């Protein structure tokens, strides 16, 4: 579970979501999966933003070197780089506050299985 969810009451999270919500945007919370209680990054991103574009942004604000891959997860599952945030927001189980929670890790090696939005497995 997200450190932000654990440390912030539902009413405050719903208010934050409402401040980020727009017709063509997805309210997103990005957290470092390994840092417990670390800083959460809030953003309202366009629904057609891809996971690959979000990973590039995470690399920039997280100070991750270009040689290290960035892995993004939603609800503990890896997501396809081609998936859009709108697809993930609609298809994946969201928190009761309406935000899409994304965790990131910078790893030295990646696995061989790709998981498309919320549970479709594909072996590479």
Contacts of 78 (CB under 8 A, 6+ apart): 71, 72, 111, 113, 114, 115
Burial (CB count <10 Å: 0-12, 13-18, 19+), residue 13: buried
Structural domain spans, the chain = 3-123
Residues 71-121 have pLDDT tens digits of: 888 888 888 899 999 888 888 756 677 888 888 888 765 555 555 556 555
- φ, ψ of residue 104 to 5 degrees: the values are -130, 150
pLDDT of amino acid 53: 92
CATH assignment of 3-123, among 1.10.3470.10, 3.40.50.1370, 1.10.1200.10, 3.10.20.90 = 3.10.20.90
In this prediction, residue 49 has a pLDDT band, given cuts at 50, 70 and 90, of: very high
């Amino acid at each position: 579970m997200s450190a932000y969810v654990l440390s912030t009451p539902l009413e405050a999270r719903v208010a934050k979501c409402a401040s980020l919500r727009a017709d063509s945007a997805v309210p997103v919370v990005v957290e470092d999966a390994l840092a417990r209680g670390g800083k959460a990054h809030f953003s309202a991103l366009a629904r057609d933003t891809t996971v690959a574009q979000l990973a590039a942004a995470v690399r920039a604000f997280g100070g991750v070197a270009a040689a290290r891959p960035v892995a993004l997860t939603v609800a503990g599952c890896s997501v396809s780089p081609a998936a859009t945030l709108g697809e993930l927001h609609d298809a994946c189980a969201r928190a009761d506050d309406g935000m899409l929670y994304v965790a990131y890790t910078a790893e030295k090696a990646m696995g061989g299985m790709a998981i498309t939005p919320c549970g479709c497995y594909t072996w590479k």
